[in-house]
């Protein structure tokens, strides 16, 4: 690629400088030339193509000056006058020229270059244009292919933990192994699944294991490989990739970091044209996914750590219609991951893997693999014959140092605060009968959140005022607990507060749930008006909405406070259980807090 750019640049330079070399006539004008005529220095003037005058100076073969003339007649007259005035006899001649070969070439050079460059780009698109694949393969997908024979096979045995994800993905393996079974029944298999989880949690590993279990080739490419500087390259890479995949079918096609292309279209800064390349790549991907039949034998797996920013079109039926959560491992899973990676090491006797798992909260599978590797290096440096507990501790410390910058690992105080915060959510939602049913609570950090509570998704279509209040109270339960137990507040509640505030605001401004504002709605279902600039209500109403929103939040907070006050002891025990186990399920909550009222 750079070779071509250099040639292009050199030609341009040559064209600009050498093309106007010293031999060419100097630009001038009639009054200057007239002066030369007066001095008797001009021998003759040749008018070329009735528009340009070349001035030949006495004793020189080539034209020394040139200038543009307005009209031949006027110029002819001017020169006659000058000749008379200065007593000279400058000859006027005429010539028509179409330019020599070189001149034409120079004239066409920019066009030649542009056309050449264009052809080069088109050829670059390779497969798309039916060409042999582009000069430097710009348009070729750089998919890495792991053939089943050559590559050491990865199976589910190599993937520790992730039980739920494995169960979900098992169906895909089954289909690849026995497609007839599904085809005979007329069943459709999902074309793609999205693996969602933080980096290093084994998404790639899981995808490889699917290929390994089903004994099919594994093609992998990263989303960022699609997006390059050349327009149209991304789209043609997608085409090429799917062509390769169809040739290899049945196979697994794995796209890592799909968010690089799959981010929602037409959003964010520079959405005016700046994202065209990514968008056309994404469109091509969608087209290809729709294009191949369900039973073509190509199964797409894609990984991302943020499903929420992906374009909704990707998740539609027949595309990535299932999402598989691949979360950070819990304590038991970490033990299993240690098992996998400790196998490769020569261990000191009596090394306790549950000790290692306890020491590594918030570590991903990749971090654990790193710890094992680092521990072996540390042991080797100390000339030891086996890797022992001290080596692991040092390795963990080192990795934690790196992790802390990623703010994944919590200090003990932070962990305690998070445990109480989450226990607060759980307790409040447990005792308010309209809150969503709790599934599990965890203090394993996920993304920016240090902990999380899972609820059964709400299947109601309508929400009553009471249900809203209970939900808001549960959301505030975390923050209220922090304040009641520690007399402090931390930034981790941001998301809770944001959601609670929005809910309360919606109650007032959208759902007519405040008596003072009344049964009216400022909701705009058309999405056309921009509330940020023009509010559909007066300043006075705005103030009332603010006040009413706040009133609801205070009411919900009081409810949360009441529940927590009444169940201080249960909440404390729940927090302690969380600190001990990291994740707590409905059964534990029931055991500690008693049956749910409601």
The footprint of ligand ADP (CB under 6 A) covers: 159-162, 199-205, 303, 337, 340, 365-366, 369
Would you say 323 or 572 has its CB closer to ligand ADP?
323
Would you say 216 or 369 has its CB closer to ligand ADP?
369
DSSP state of 255: E
**Residue count (the chain):** 598
Interface stretch with Zn ion, choices 128-136, 232-240, 314-322, 473-481 (CB under 5 A) = 473-481
Task: Calculate ∠ Cα 550-551-555, nearest 5°.
Answer: 115
Measured from the CB of residue 157, what is the shortest distance to Zn ion in angstroms? 37
Would you say 163 or 290 has its CB closer to ligand ADP?
163
Helices 465-481 + 494-509 axis angle, to 10: 160
Measured from the CB of residue 273, what is the shortest distance to ligand ADP in angstroms? 32
Let me know if 387 is exposed, middle or buried by CB neighbors in 10 A (0-12, 13-18, 19+).
Answer: buried
Q: Which of the choices ligand ADP, Zn ion, none does residue 205 contact, using the CB cut-off of 5 to 8 A by kind?
A: ligand ADP
Rounded CA separation 560/287 (Å): 50
Would you say 327 or 365 has its CB closer to Zn ion?
327
State both tokens at 248: 């290899």
Q: Which residues contact 536 (CB under 8 A, 6 or more apart)?
A: 522, 524, 529
Return the residue of 478, 509, 574, 583 that touches Zn ion, per CB under 5 A. Answer: 478
Measured from the CB of residue 581, what is the shortest distance to ligand ADP in angstroms? 19
Would you say 191 or 203 has its CB closer to ligand ADP?
203
Q: Which of the choices ligand ADP, Zn ion, none does residue 204 contact, using the CB cut-off of 5 to 8 A by kind?
A: ligand ADP
* Beta pairing partners, 47: 53, 94
Strand 52-57 relative to strand 42-48, pairing:
antiparallel
Interface stretch with Zn ion, choices 5-13, 365-373, 466-474, 494-502 (CB under 5 A) = 494-502
Question: 257, 279, 422, 557: which is the annotated catalytic residue?
Answer: 422
Strand 583-585 relative to strand 438-442, pairing:
antiparallel
Q: Which of the choices Zn ion, ligand ADP, none does residue 340 contact, using the CB cut-off of 5 to 8 A by kind?
A: ligand ADP
Return the residue of 225, 240, 288, 496 that touches Zn ion, per CB under 5 A. Answer: 496
Let me know if 41 is exposed, middle or buried by CB neighbors in 10 A (0-12, 13-18, 19+).
Answer: middle
Would you say 202 or 492 has its CB closer to ligand ADP?
202
Interface stretch with Zn ion, choices 239-247, 270-278, 437-445, 477-485 (CB under 5 A) = 477-485
Let me know if 518 is exposed, middle or buried by CB neighbors in 10 A (0-12, 13-18, 19+).
Answer: exposed
The residue behind tokens 């299993």 is: 336
Q: Which of the choices ligand ADP, Zn ion, none does residue 496 contact, using the CB cut-off of 5 to 8 A by kind?
A: Zn ion
Would you say 198 or 451 has its CB closer to Zn ion?
451
Q: Which of the choices Zn ion, ligand ADP, none does residue 478 contact, using the CB cut-off of 5 to 8 A by kind?
A: Zn ion
Rounded CA separation 258/108 (Å): 44
Q: How many residues bind Zn ion (CB under 5 A)?
A: 2
Q: Which of the choices Zn ion, ligand ADP, none does residue 240 contact, using the CB cut-off of 5 to 8 A by kind?
A: none
Rounded CA separation 542/10 (Å): 64
Measured from the CB of residue 521, what is the shortest distance to ligand ADP in angstroms? 44
Measured from the CB of residue 364, what is the shortest distance to ligand ADP in angstroms? 6
Rounded CA separation 327/345 (Å): 26
Other Cβ atoms less than 10 A from the Cβ of 40: the count is: 13
Coil, strand or helix at 527: coil
Measured from the CB of residue 107, what is the shortest distance to ligand ADP in angstroms? 56
Q: Which residue is nearest to ligand ADP (CB)?
A: 365
Cβ(188)–Cβ(294) below 8 Å: yes
Helices 412-431 + 539-566 axis angle, to 10: 100
Q: Which residue is nearest to Zn ion (CB)?
A: 478
* Beta pairing partners, 440: 454, 585
- Return the HEC string of 123-144: HHCHHHHCCCCCCCCCCCCCCE
Measured from the CB of residue 438, what is the shortest distance to ligand ADP in angstroms? 26
The yes-or-no answer on residue 330 being catalytic is no
Measured from the CB of residue 315, what is the shortest distance to ligand ADP in angstroms? 19
Would you say 365 or 492 has its CB closer to ligand ADP?
365
**Which chain residues interact with Zn ion by CB under 5 A?**
478, 496
Active site residues: 422
């Amino acid at each position: 690629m750079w070779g071509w750019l250099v040639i292009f640049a050199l030609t341009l330079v040559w064209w600009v400088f050498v093309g106007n070399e010293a031999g060419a006539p100097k630009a001038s004008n009639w009054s200057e030339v007239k002066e030369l005529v007066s001095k008797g220095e001009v021998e003759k003037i040749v008018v070329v193509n009735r528009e340009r005058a070349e001035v030949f100076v006495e004793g020189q073969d080539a034209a020394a000056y040139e200038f543009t003339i307005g009209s031949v007649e006027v110029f002819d007259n001017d020169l006659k006058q000058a000749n008379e005035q200065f007593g000279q006899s400058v000859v006027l001649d005429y010539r028509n020229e179409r330019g020599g070969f070189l001149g034409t070439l120079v004239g066409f050079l920019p066009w030649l270059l542009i056309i050449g460059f264009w052809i080069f780009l088109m050829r670059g698109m390779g497969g798309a244009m039916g060409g042999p694949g582009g000069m430097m393969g710009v348009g070729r997908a750089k998919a890495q292919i792991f053939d089943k024979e050559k590559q050491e096979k990865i199976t589910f045995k190599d993937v520790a933990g992730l039980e739920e994800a494995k169960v979900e993905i098992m169906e895909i393996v089954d289909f690849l192994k026995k497609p007839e079974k599904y085809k005979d029944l007329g069943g459709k298999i999902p074309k793609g699944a999205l693996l969602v989880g933080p980096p290093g949690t084994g998404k790639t590993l899981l995808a490889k294991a699917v290929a390994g279990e089903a004994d099919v080739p594994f093609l992998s490419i990263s989303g960022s490989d699609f997006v390059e500087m050349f327009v149209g390259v991304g789209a043609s890479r997608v085409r090429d990739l799917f062509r390769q995949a169809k040739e290899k079918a049945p196979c697994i096609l794995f796209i890592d970091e799909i968010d690089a292309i799959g981010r929602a279209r037409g959003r964010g800064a520079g959405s005016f044209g700046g994202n065209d390349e990514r968008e056309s790549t994404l469109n091509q991907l969608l087209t290809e996914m729709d294009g191949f039949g369900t039973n073509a034998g190509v199964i797409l797996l894609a990984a991302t750590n943020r499903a929420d920013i992906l374009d909704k079109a990707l998740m539609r039926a027949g595309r990535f219609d299932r999402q598989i959560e691949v979360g950070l491992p819990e304590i038991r899973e970490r033990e299993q991951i240690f098992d996998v990676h400790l196998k490769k090491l020569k261990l000191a006797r009596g090394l306790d893997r549950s000790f290692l798992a306890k020491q590594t909260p918030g570590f991903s599978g990749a971090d654990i693999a790193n710890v094992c590797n680092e521990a072996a290096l540390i042991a080797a440096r100390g000339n030891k014959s086996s890797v022992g507990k001290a080596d692991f501790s040092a390795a963990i410390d080192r990795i934690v140092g790196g992790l802390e910058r990623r703010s994944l690992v919590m200090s003990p105080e932070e962990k305690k605060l998070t445990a109480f915060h989450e226990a607060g959510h759980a307790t409040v939602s447990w005792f308010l009968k309209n809150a969503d049913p709790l599934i599990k609570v965890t203090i394993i950090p996920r993304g920016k959140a240090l902990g999380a509570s899972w609820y059964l998704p709400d299947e109601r279509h309508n929400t009553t005022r009471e249900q809203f209040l209970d939900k808001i109270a549960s959301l505030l339960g975390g923050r209220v607990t922090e304040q009641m137990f520690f007399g402090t507040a931390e930034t981790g509640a941001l998301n809770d507060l944001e959601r609670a505030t929005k809910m309360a605001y919606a109650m007032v401004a959208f759902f007519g749930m405040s008596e003072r504002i009344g049964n009216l709605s400022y909701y705009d279902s058309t999405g056309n008006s921009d509330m940020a600039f023009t509010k559909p209500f007066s300043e006075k109403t705005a103030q009332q909405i603010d006040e009413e929103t706040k009133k609801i939040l205070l009411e919900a907070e009081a409810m949360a406070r009441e529940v927590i006050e009444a169940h201080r002891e249960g909440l404390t025990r729940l927090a302690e259980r969380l600190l001990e186990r990291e994740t707590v399920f409905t059964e534990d909550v029931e055991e500690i807090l008693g049956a749910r009222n409601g």
